[in-house]
């Protein structure tokens, strides 16, 4: 069961704050509404089409990942006829938390740029010699 969150908890401002921490992501507009872009390509935006529910975010992603999200949580993720042919999913912001939104934007970043999200580098593991060798 998906936990519900109040609309005030997650909104485009939340998405903006998360998205701008990703390398190369900038604020912009799409169809006159707030959007996040990377290298000039749309990453996510406020849903502009009238078919979308209020307080929905359009997030670009791999079609296979979209299919999994739609099947796994149809109360959170959805499509309308207008978005079926696109490489995006609609997200009901009132039904996600910031951690989920961070993961979604990371998926979008990877899809749009073809690279992984830049996170703090993990320390490299020290290679230990095989047992019995110095």
Digit-coded pLDDT (tens) for 71-124: 999 999 999 999 999 999 999 999 999 999 999 999 999 999 997 655 434 444
Residue 1: exposure state from Cβ atoms within 10 A (0-12, 13-18, ≥19) = exposed
In the 8-state DSSP scheme, what is residue 12? H
At 39-69, the pLDDT tens digits run 999 999 999 999 999 999 999 999 999 999 9
Considering Cα of 45, then 49, then 55, then 58, what sign does the dihedral take? Answer: negative
pLDDT of residue 127: 47
Cβ atoms of residues 11 and 55 within 8 Å = yes
Q: Which stretches of the chain are assigned E, i.e. beta strand?
A: 25-30, 33-38, 41-46, 56-60, 77-78, 88-92
Q: Give the right CATH number for 12-113 from 3.40.1190.20, 3.20.20.70, 3.30.70.20, 3.90.1150.30.
A: 3.90.1150.30
pLDDT of residue 106: 97
């Amino acid at each position: 069961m998906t936990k519900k969150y109040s609309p005030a908890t997650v909104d485009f401002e939340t998405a903006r704050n998360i998205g701008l921490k990703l390398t190369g992501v900038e604020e912009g507009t799409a169809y006159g509404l707030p959007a996040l872009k990377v290298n000039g390509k749309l990453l996510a935006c406020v849903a502009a089409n009238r078919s979308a529910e209020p307080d929905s975010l359009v997030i670009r992603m791999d079609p296979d990942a979209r299919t999994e999200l739609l099947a796994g949580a149809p109360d959170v993720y959805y499509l309308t006829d207008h978005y079926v042919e696109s490489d995006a999913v609609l997200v009901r912001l009132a039904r996600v938390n910031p951690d989920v939104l961070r993961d979604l934007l990371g998926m979008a970043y990877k899809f749009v740029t073809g690279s992984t999200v830049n996170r703090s580098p993990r320390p490299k593991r020290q290679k230990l010699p095989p047992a019995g060798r110095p």
